[in-house]
Copies of this chain bind each other. A is one copy, B any other.
Amino acid sequence: MSTAFKTAPPFSHRTVAASAADAIRRKIFDGELKDGEPLRQDLLAAEFGISRTPIREALVQLEAEGLIRIEPHKGAVVREASVADIEEIFELRHLLEPVLLERSAPSLAAADFDHIEAILDEYSAELRNHNVKRWGELNTLFHTALYAKAERPQIRAIVDKLLTASDRYTRLQLLHTDGLKRAEKEHAEIVTLCRKRKFAAAADVLRSHILVVKASLLDFVARRG
C-alpha cells in the first residue's frame, strides 16, 4: 500500500516528517485510527518505511493541532472529543466564521461564486449518494472557498482547524439526512445573498446555519449517548 509521500517525487519541497503528519492525520479522519487508540512510533515508522525521528516530529505537530494527546513516556493517543469540546468548536465557528465571511465576500468575483456553486452542486449529488466522506470534504471546501479573500491568515488558520475537527464528526455519520438537506438550502442562500452583496444578511444566515448544525450534531450524540 503506497502512501502519499512515497509516491511524491523526490523533488517534493516537504520534509518526510510533514508528509508523515499528513498521512497520520488522514488515518485519524478516515476513522482508521479510532478515538483513544494509541499511536505507537514503532508501528507507524515500520508502516511508512521511515525511522521514528520524523514520526516523533509529526506527532508533536499533530498534538499542537489538537488531534492527539502526548503524555511523556506513555505515548500518543487519538484525542477523543467530549460533548463539551464539540460545543466549543461550534461556539468558536459561530464567532469567527461570520467575521471571515464579511471580510471575504465583498472581494469575491463572479468566477469565485461560480466555483463555490460548483462545489455545492457536487455536494448535492453526493448527498443523494450518501457519500458521507466526500460530503465532509466538500462542506469544508465550501466554507474555505467562501473565506478565501478574507486576508485574515490567523483567523483562517483557526477556522481551518475547526472545520477539519467538525469534519471528523460529520464523517462519522453523525448527521441525519434532514439536517444535511437543510444545510444544502442554507449554503445556497448564503451564496445568493453574497452575490446580491447583502453581506450582513449572509453573515446572519451563516450564524444560524452553524447553530443549526451544532444542534443537529448534539441531538444525534444525545440520542445515541
Give A residues with C-beta under 8 Å from B.
13-15, 17-18, 53, 56-57, 60-61, 64-66, 72, 84-85, 88-89, 91-92, 95-96, 99, 151-155, 158
Lowest 7 CB-CB distances: which A-B pairs, in order?
A64-B64, A60-B60, A88-B154, A15-B72, A57-B60, A60-B61, A88-B152
Bound state CA distance, A14 and B74, in angstroms? Answer: 12
Residues of B within 8 A of A92 (CB): 154-155, 158
Say whether B88 contacts A155, CB under 8 Å: yes
| A53: nearest chain-B partner, CB-CB | B53
Residues of B within 8 A of A96 (CB): 95
| A95: nearest chain-B partner, CB-CB | B95
Q: List 11 A-B contacts (CB under 8 A).
A: A53-B53, A56-B57, A57-B57, A60-B60, A60-B61, A61-B64, A88-B152, A88-B155, A89-B154, A95-B95, A95-B96
The one of B14, B88, B152, B155 that contacts A153, using a Cβ cutoff of 8 Å: B88
